[in-house]
Structure 1
Amino acid sequence: MRRRPVDSRSVRSVGWSDGTLELEYVNGYVYRYLDVPQPTYAALLAAPSIGAYVNKHIKPHYEFREV
């Protein structure tokens, strides 16, 4: 999946395709979050703090897998 770099202290890059959100963290780990709607991805990109958005709106609500 193509990811785009983001300005964050915890997330290096993000990508989204067909409901799968892929996050590359600064520690090098990559996770895929499943069934994430496109508006949630758009809100993530627009968030003032990507890390805080991930912790509040992504991690507690979507199943994930390490890549």
Structure 2
Amino acid sequence: MERIPLESEALASIGYDLARHLLEIEFTNGRIYQYFDVPRTEVERLLAARSQGAYFSERVRDHYRYEQVH
């Protein structure tokens, strides 16, 4: 999955598979997680957030099923 680089202290890049509603996040520590059943609007809000790391912590982490892939 192709990811978009971010300018965030916590998040290095994100990718999104619209057909599967799958959000993939690479953290600045090198770990990669996939979050399942994430609506496209949530990803758009994450990208537009003033603080993407804070938005992730408040609205994505612990709200969607996930697994570490790397």
Report TM bin, short chain. Answer: over 0.9
From 23, 30, 48, the counterpart of 1:46: 48
1:7 maps to which residue?
A: 7
Q: List structure 1 segments (4+ residues) > 3 angstroms apart after TM superposition.
A: none
1:1-67 equivalence runs, <5 A: 1-17=1-17, 18-67=20-69
Q: Which runs of 5+ in 2 are unaligned?
A: none
Pairwise CA RMSD of aligned residues? Answer: 0.6
Gaps of 5+ in 1: none
**Alignment: residue pair count:** 67
Partner SS for 1:31: strand
Residue identity (%): 40
- What secondary structure is seen at the aligned counterpart in 1 of 2:8? coil
